[in-house]
Amino acid sequence: MTTHKLTKEETDRYADLNGTIIHYNEAGEGPTLMCFHGGGPGASAWGNTRHNIDALSQHFHVMLVDLPGFGESDKNARPPENESSDVYLARLLRDLLDSKGIEKSHLYSSSASGPPSLRFGIDYPDRVDKIIMQSSGVGGGPLMFSPSPAEGIKALGEFDREPTRERMARMMHLFIPKDELCTEEMIDARFQAAMIPGHLEARRATRAGGGDILRDISRLKAPVLVVWGHQDWMVPVEGALGALARIPDVRVHIWGGGTGHFVEYEKADEFNRLVIDFLTH
């Protein structure tokens, strides 16, 4: 018996949040799990979590959300003046839940979406259940054992300065260290997504207004699961130690064996089991 695999087209949804258009993919029933992507060029929620939506939607009402500037969401939305991007994005996520009449949600964040997810938990504690953070720490202090900036961040900066497919390929191979997992098809799709008009400009504008999560992290009440790959050339794995030290209710899972930045893809089956167990117990 074959199992139907969800497609992007059948799960595509849009929400108008006070003039800001947000795209998301939706599937499944049960407790809500909102999933976000990282901040690299060409990132999107479907691109990040398409490998997991079939398994996760068997247990949860899953929403893969493109943040402003990414995927098919609004390319012109910007944080208000004097408001940090994490505060702005957390409020937008609250508005998305309100638009669907949803009281509470689990959150899954990847890399750069970690700070707005933590901010959501801090600012709207009654609206969050549990948080999963992938390859994302809390910040605060220089790295002790890893070069800074990391090789992947250097490659990302090179692409920003001159966006070519060759530079995208270098960046993607630093995201995903195992060559057999980093396919030409993935590189092409990511490059095409990065070249959507307005995306790179919106990405830079949102990134410029980060907040100070470290100052407020002690107020976070939600249980947090931090997941990481030990060979992460984008966000070095020692960031997990900072998360372990600073997040009040936290547990950490690190994959070895050459696992990189995209553990939800590189270790999809294990990742799905781990997340389902964490969220249902």
CA distance 173 to 181: 9
Q: Measuring CA to CA, which residue among 36, 114, 26, 101 is closest to residue 68?
A: 36
CA distance 238 to 255: 13
263: its two tokens: 């553990």
Question: CB–CB of 128/153 below 8 Å?
Answer: no
- Catalytic residue, from 61, 106, 261, 281: name it: 261
Q: Measuring CA to CA, which residue among 48, 22, 36 is closest to residue 189?
A: 48
CA distance 129 to 95: 17
Adjacent-strand bridge partners of 105: 128
Which amino acid appears at position 16 of this protein?
D
Chain centre to alpha carbon of residue 255: 18
261 is catalytic: yes
Beta-strand relationship, 61-65 and 20-27: antiparallel
What does the CA dihedral 58, 124, 216, 118 come to, rounded to 10 degrees? 20
77: its two tokens: 């939305």
Question: CB–CB of 115/210 below 8 Å?
Answer: yes
Q: Which residues are catalytic?
A: 261
